[in-house]
Amino acid sequence: MEVATIEYCEPKVLGHGFSFKACEQAILVKAYKLDKGLFLWIGSLSQPVLEDLALSMSTPYGQDPLQTKLLGDVLNMSSMNLGARLSKKLDKPVYVSFNISMDKLSLPAIEAGIVEEMKKFPLQF
Amino acid sequence: MACVESLEKLSLLDVSEPSVIKPFIQQSPLKETVTAAKIDGVHTDIVITEFVNRIFIVLTQRQSFSSLLLVSKDGPKTFEGKAEDIYTVKSIFGVDSEQSGNLVARFLSEHTCMNKPALFALGLKDHSPRTVRALRDIINQHKSW
């Protein structure tokens, strides 16, 4: 069985993780930055699951980014809304996985936490 | 005085204020690996993250995802005992007719003994058996399950 040669090197994908408390919920965020995209996972620190995913990307055909839900409940628009804003800001496709059952109060707090981290570490996003 | 108190209550409700967001330093419960290798000279980024319900694997040579595939495993039981595992690959993003990605995801799920469903984010230029076997070896070396 032929196997290709493997030579380990420095990864081009940047992995960044951080956690914060928003409205008494411990939130964990993972970001994987690629040259042509960003994967952002948002979940609870106590139960980190991956059950939701949406893709947003800007196109030259309209002002608003295109969005599509890839995984999870179609009625839960949090990942699409957040992804649309991020893809517009970063000008690249953004995959957002939003895995928290939240209420009206915690969603803006979670978004503010992510934006704060993006301002602190812009190169990681 | 009453006015000051009501203002304080109002500011507590304003969740958009940065004061509500407290940095919370605790060790991440996620097991993850971010690595890269030159496979036959082609730079390949590999990310393996184990969530509670799913394993997320990125294998890209393009710095982007060209397809996203969900792989699940079923172990059917027959009267004679346990039959061979059945793998189901579902394409959730990318060109569905391109079977090479499905084969890669299917092969890697089986040969790395994944114990939970997996989400593969692929962006491979080379789908040859040589490369896929090298990817299997890298995952087996870094996996947490």
State residue B10's pLDDT score: 43
State residue B23's pLDDT score: 60
Residue predicted with more confidence, B12 or B60: B60
Q: How many CB atoms lie within 10 A of CB B30?
A: 19
How confident is residue B76, by pLDDT bands cut at 50, 70 and 90? Answer: confident
What does pTM read for this prediction? Answer: 0.87
**For B29, which residue in chain A has the nearest alpha carbon?**
A45
Half-sphere exposure of B106 (CA within 13 A, CB side): 14
Whether B117 shows a pLDDT value over 90: the answer reads yes
The 10s digit of each residue's pLDDT in A81-110 is: 999 999 999 999 999 999 998 777 788 888
Residue predicted with more confidence, A15 or B78: A15
Quote the ipTM score: 0.92
The 10s digit of each residue's pLDDT in A4-62 is: 999 999 999 999 999 988 878 889 999 999 999 999 999 998 889 999 999 999 988 88
Q: Does the residue A4 lie in any domain?
A: no
State residue B16's pLDDT score: 47
Q: Does the residue A7 lie in any domain?
A: no
Q: Does the residue A30 lie in any domain?
A: yes
> What's the CATH code of the domain at A60?
3.30.230.100
Q: Does the residue A5 lie in any domain?
A: no
Whether B24 shows a pLDDT value over 90: the answer reads no
Classified as helix, coil or strand, B94 is: coil
The count of domains in chain A is: 1
How confident is residue B15, by pLDDT bands cut at 50, 70 and 90? Answer: very low
Q: Does the residue A9 lie in any domain?
A: no
Strand order in the sheet with B86-93: A6-9, B31-39, B42-50, B55-60, B118-123, B67-74, B86-93
The Cα of B144 is separated from the nearest Cα of chain A by a number of Å equal to 15
Residue ranges of A 62-121 with Cβ closer than 8 A to chain B: 68, 70-71, 93, 95, 105-106, 108-109, 112-113, 116
Whether B37 shows a pLDDT value over 90: the answer reads yes
Tell if the CB–CB gap between A39 and B129 is shorter than 8 Å. Answer: no
Residue B138 contacts residue B37 (beta carbons within 8 Å): yes
| Six token digits for residue A1 | 């069985």
Q: How many CB pairs under 8 A join A and B?
A: 163
Q: Show residues of chain A in contact with B92, CB under 8 Å.
A: 53, 70-71
Q: Does the residue A37 lie in any domain?
A: yes
Q: Does the residue A45 lie in any domain?
A: yes
Strands (E) across A14-93 are located at 14-22, 25-34, 37-44, 53-57, 66-71
The Cα of B82 is separated from the nearest Cα of chain A by a number of Å equal to 29
Chain A CB within 8 Å of residue B30 CB: yes
State residue B7's pLDDT score: 44
Nearest to B142 by CA among B21, B36, B64, B69: B36
Q: Does the residue A83 lie in any domain?
A: yes
State residue B19's pLDDT score: 44
The Cα of B117 is separated from the nearest Cα of chain A by a number of Å equal to 10
How confident is residue B95, by pLDDT bands cut at 50, 70 and 90? Answer: confident
Q: Domain of A25?
A: 14-120
The 10s digit of each residue's pLDDT in A58-68 is: 988 888 899 99
Which of A1, A23, A35 is closest, CB to CB, to B20?
A23
